[in-house]
Homo-oligomer: A and B are copies of this chain.
């Protein structure tokens, strides 16, 4: 229940953080990736969880390697797992 929604929140925050750091607007990024601007917004806000394909495209626009992107996500995910107290 928690897991399914946690990931998309993290992805959204991560995309936004990188986009800001690159000095891009949502529209800039949307244009780079050939998607609608509103879709970028949905992702960043955590309303939609982008598919891997989309994330690869986003990473192209964000000029970051997908594996590096997921490393960031992974770290945040691990943090939240601690809080929730997940015993592997």
Contact = CB atoms under 8 A, between A and B. Distances in A.
Contacts of A66: 70, 73-74, 77
Contacts of A60: 88
Interface residues of A, number: 25
Count of identical protomers in the assembly: 2
A49 B52 CA distance: 8
A57 to B, nearest CB: 7
Contact of A51 (B51, B65, B67, B88): B51
Nearest to A6: B53
B51 A49 contact: yes
A3 interface: yes
Contacts of A53: 3-4, 7-8, 49
